[in-house]
Amino acid sequence: MIFNEIYGCYYDAIAKILSVAVTKNISKNEMREIIENNAFTESFFEIEDKLRAQEYQLLNKDGSTPIKNKPTLPLTELQKRWLKTISLDKRIKLFCDDFPDFSDTSPIYLPEDYHIYDMYSDGDDYESEQYIKNFRTILLAIKEKKPLKIAMMSRNNRCINTVAMPKRIEYSPKDDKFRLYTKGSRQLSLVNVGKIGSCEIYDKEITLNYEQPIELTKTVTIELYDSRNTLERFMYHFAHFKKVATKIENKKYKIDIYYEAIDETELIIRILSFGQFVKVISPDSFMRQIRYRINKQKLLFKQN
C-alpha cells in the first residue's frame, strides 16, 4: 500500500509529540491530548507506553527528546510518482487547484497508456470552468448541508429553476459522468452534473415538504452460467450497482441487481452483451424490453 490512512495516523501522532518535545519537556497530559486528536482511542496503550518505556528510543523519561529538529514525514519516490500520476487525471481539477506539481518526478503511467474499451465517449467536460465551479459549489453545499439553487435546461429545452437539498454525488465509470442526488424538489431528484447550467448555495431556509426517494427502486433478476469467466466479468461490469448473488448449482447463479429507473436502458444493453450466458427471469416488463431489442436486432440483421 502506497498510503495507509490507518497506520499513517500513528506516524503523524508521534511526529507531533516529538515536535513539542523538541522545544520543551512534554507532559503526560499533552501527549494524551495529541494522541486523542490524531490517532485512535486504543493508541494510548501503543504510543504512550512505548514512548515512555523508551522502546522507540525517541523520548526520554522526563519528556525530552534526543532529536534536535522537528521531525518531518517526507514522501517516498513511489508516493511522489503515484501523486504525479493522479495529478494528470483530468478530474483532479474538480477538487483542487494547488495539487503538487512534482515536475522532477516521472508518473507511473500516462493517461494515454491505457484505453477503457467499454466507456462512452461523451463524458462530462471536466476542463470547463463552469463545470468546475458548479462541481465545487455542490461539494461545498453537501459538506455544509445547505440547499442549492439550480438552473438547467430540460430535454425539451425548458428552463428549470429549482431549489433542492443535495444528498450525494456519484460517478459512473461507464458513462464517465457525475450524477447529483437531491431531495426536496419535485422537478429534480437525479441529474447529471454536466446538465447543470449554473448553481449557487441558497442561504435562505427551505421547507422539505416533498422528498423524492433516492434509494434504489427497481430490481432485475437474472440467471448466470459461469463459463469463460462470465461471473467475474459480470461482477466487474456491474460493480457500481447494488446486487445480491446466490449460487443455485454448480456454475449457475441467481443475481438480483438494484438500480435507478434512469439506468434501465444502460442495464439492458449491458445484460445483452453477455449473450447466452445470462438469462433475465424477472420482472416481466424488463423481459419484454429484452425481447423487443433482440427482435429488433434480428430484423436489422435480415435487412442487411
Q: How far apart are alpha carbons 54 and 283 in whole angstroms?
A: 66
Is the pLDDT at 253 greater than 80? The verdict is yes
Q: Which helix (H) or strand (E) holds 258?
A: strand 252-259
| pLDDT for position 132 | 96
Cβ–Cβ under 8 Å, residues 172 and 179:
yes
| pLDDT for position 53 | 79
Higher pLDDT, 132 or 239: 132
Question: Per residue in 95-129, pLDDT tens?
Answer: 988 888 888 899 999 988 887 776 778 889 999 99
Cα dihedral 207→210→213→217 (10° resolution): 180
Q: How far apart are alpha carbons 278 and 64 in whole angstroms?
A: 67
Domain with CATH 2.30.30 in the chain: 129-201
List Cα–Cα distances, 23 to 18, 31, 131, 187, in angstroms.
Answer: 9, 14, 47, 60
CA atoms within 13 A on the CB side of 114: 9
Sorted by sequence, the CB contacts under 8 Å of residue 263 that are 6+ apart come out as 241
User: Which residue matches cell numbers 463552469?
Assistant: 130
Could you tell me the three cell numbers for 9? 495516523
DSSP state of 204: S
Beta bridge partners of 200: 149
Higher pLDDT, 215 or 3: 3
Q: How far apart are alpha carbons 49 and 69 in whole angstroms?
A: 23
Cβ–Cβ under 8 Å, residues 82 and 2:
yes
Is the pLDDT at 214 greater than 50? The verdict is no
Q: How far apart are alpha carbons 144 and 100 in whole angstroms?
A: 26
Stretch 197-223: mean pLDDT, rounded? 75
Confidence grade of residue 299 (pLDDT, cut at 50, 70, 90): confident
Sorted by sequence, the CB contacts under 8 Å of residue 30 that are 6+ apart come out as 20
Q: What are phi and psi of 165, to 5 degrees?
A: -95, 115
Q: How far apart are alpha carbons 94 and 90 in whole angstroms?
A: 8
User: Which residue matches cell numbers 483542487?
Assistant: 96
| pLDDT for position 304 | 64
Domain with CATH 3.30.70.240 in the chain: 218-303
Question: Per residue in 1-46, pLDDT tens?
Answer: 566 665 677 788 888 899 999 999 998 888 888 888 887 766 666 7
What value does the CA radius of gyration of the chain take, rounded to a whole number of Å? 27
CATH class assigned to 129-201: mainly beta
3-state secondary structure of 56: coil
CATH class assigned to 218-303: alpha beta
| pLDDT for position 279 | 93
